[in-house]
């Protein structure tokens, strides 16, 4: 049975303060036997989520730079490319299909590991333990359900990007063939804006899925779809707090990126290695994971174990009996 959320407003700042106190109490003083397992679990939790690549740039000058004198005109080059594609279409489709399948398999493996890591790390942060094997076993079914939604969202993102890039390609070809005119330029701008909106929507869904739905699966022992419904209800009821949370997470991400760069530089690039990086920066990652758990606790979904009552003081030693006679 799903417990109702509390009616009071969620406080992102209070949750952050509570998360900082949890980090201070559990991770300090430093102990390698605790930080290292958490570093490995954090690596799984971040697998497929962090990273990125740079974008290459090209310089465009006049048509003489792109198509030097004596070379084919843009129309001839496009016609030649079309003829070549037509002659080798079967090979292109076969190679493309193999590449797509390999990419999907690799993405599935990475997201499956990420799904296991999400629950392992949430379990460790919530329970205050530093385990690897136990949460891997205990949350296997929940992770599979989570993986289905995560992989499905990745497929939607992939095909959405393809659907946006194909018309952009046609607009670019039109500009090359017929020169600059308003139609293709406006089309490219509109599709670029749509791409930005699409990317923002996917990232917001990812935040709701990982930060709130996954812990709710543990708290309520439900599948990911049901947990997403509860998480979406919390977001709608606390939209202002959610917006503040997302904006502060962006700031936190910038700070974490700068800290990662400095850690890598001051450790002679050792800090850039996986697991080593996640171990060195464990307080940052621990805080980020505990932050959303503290917000859920405010909403009435408490994953943190209850504090055991203090033990009664020991009884004083018995007085020796006086000697008789």
Encoding tokens for residue 96? 């493309």
- Which residues does 168 contact at the CB level (< 8 Å), separation at least 6? 187, 188, 191, 192
Residue 2's pLDDT band, with cuts at 50, 70 and 90, is low
What's the distance, CA 20 to chain centroid?
21
Cis peptide before 24 (omega within 30 of 0): no
147 closest CA partner among 77, 235, 213 = 213
Taking CA 61 as the corner, what is the angle to CA 56 and CA 65, rounded to the nearest 5 degrees? 100
Q: Using CA atoms, how far apart are residues 237 and 140, in angstroms rounded to an integer?
A: 31
Residue 302's pLDDT band, with cuts at 50, 70 and 90, is very high
Q: Which tops the pLDDT comparison, 237 or 166?
A: 237
Encoding tokens for residue 98? 């193999």
pLDDT at residue 55 in the model:
38
Q: Using CA atoms, how far apart are residues 263 and 268, in angstroms rounded to an integer?
A: 9
What is the average pLDDT score of the chain? 85
Q: Using CA atoms, how far apart are residues 303 and 215, in angstroms rounded to an integer?
A: 8
Segment 203-229 shows an average pLDDT of 96
Segment 215-241 shows an average pLDDT of 96
Q: Parse the chain into domains and list their residue ranges.
A: 14-48+75-298
Predicted confidence (pLDDT) per residue in 276-298, tens digit: 999 999 999 999 999 999 999 99
* Residue 267 neighbours by CB distance under 10 Å: 14
**Look-up of token digits 């460790």:** 124
Is residue 324 over pLDDT 60?
no
pLDDT at residue 58 in the model:
40
Is residue 270 over pLDDT 80?
yes
Predicted confidence (pLDDT) per residue in 38-95, tens digit: 999 999 999 877 543 333 444 334 434 444 455 566 666 666 766 777 777 788 888 8
pLDDT at residue 66 in the model:
41
If you ran DSSP here, which 8-state letter would residue 69 be given? T
Q: Does residue 248 sit in helix, strand or coil?
A: helix
Segment 97-108 shows an average pLDDT of 91
Specify the pTM: 0.81
């Amino acid at each position: 049975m799903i417990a109702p959320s509390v009616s009071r407003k969620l406080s992102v700042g209070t949750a952050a303060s509570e998360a900082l106190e949890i980090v201070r109490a559990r991770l300090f003083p430093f102990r390698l036997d605790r930080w290292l397992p958490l570093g490995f679990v954090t690596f799984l939790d971040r697998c497929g989520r962090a990273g990125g690549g740079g974008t290459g740039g090209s310089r465009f000058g006049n048509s003489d730079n792109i198509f030097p004198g004596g070379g084919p005109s843009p129309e001839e080059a496009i016609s030649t490319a079309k003829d070549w594609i037509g002659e080798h279409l079967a090979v292109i489709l076969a190679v493309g299909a193999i590449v797509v399948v390999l990419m999907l398999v690799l993405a599935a493996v990475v997201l499956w590991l990420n799904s296991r890591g999400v629950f392992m790390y949430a379990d460790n942060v919530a329970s205050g333990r530093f385990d690897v094997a136990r949460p891997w076993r205990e949350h296997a079914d929940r992770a599979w359900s989570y993986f289905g939604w995560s992989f499905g969202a990745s497929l939607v993102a992939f095909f959405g990007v393809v659907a946006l890039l194909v018309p952009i390609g046609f607009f670019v070809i039109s500009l090359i063939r017929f020169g600059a005119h308003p139609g293709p330029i406006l089309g490219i701008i509109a599709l670029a804006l749509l791409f930005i909106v699409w990317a923002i929507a996917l990232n917001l869904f990812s935040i709701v899925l990982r930060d709130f739905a996954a812990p709710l699966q543990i708290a309520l022992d439900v599948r990911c779809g049901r947990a997403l419904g509860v998480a979406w209800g919390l977001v709608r009821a606390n939209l202002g707090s959610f917006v503040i949370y997302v904006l502060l997470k962006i700031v936190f991400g910038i700070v974490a990126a700068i800290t990662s760069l400095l850690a890598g530089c001051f450790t002679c690039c050792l800090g850039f290695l996986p697991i080593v990086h996640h171990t060195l920066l464990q307080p940052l990652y621990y805080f980020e994971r505990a932050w959303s758990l503290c917000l859920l606790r405010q909403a009435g979904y408490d994953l943190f174990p209850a504090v055991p009552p203090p033990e009664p003081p020991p009884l004083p030693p018995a007085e020796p009996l006086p000697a008789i006679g």
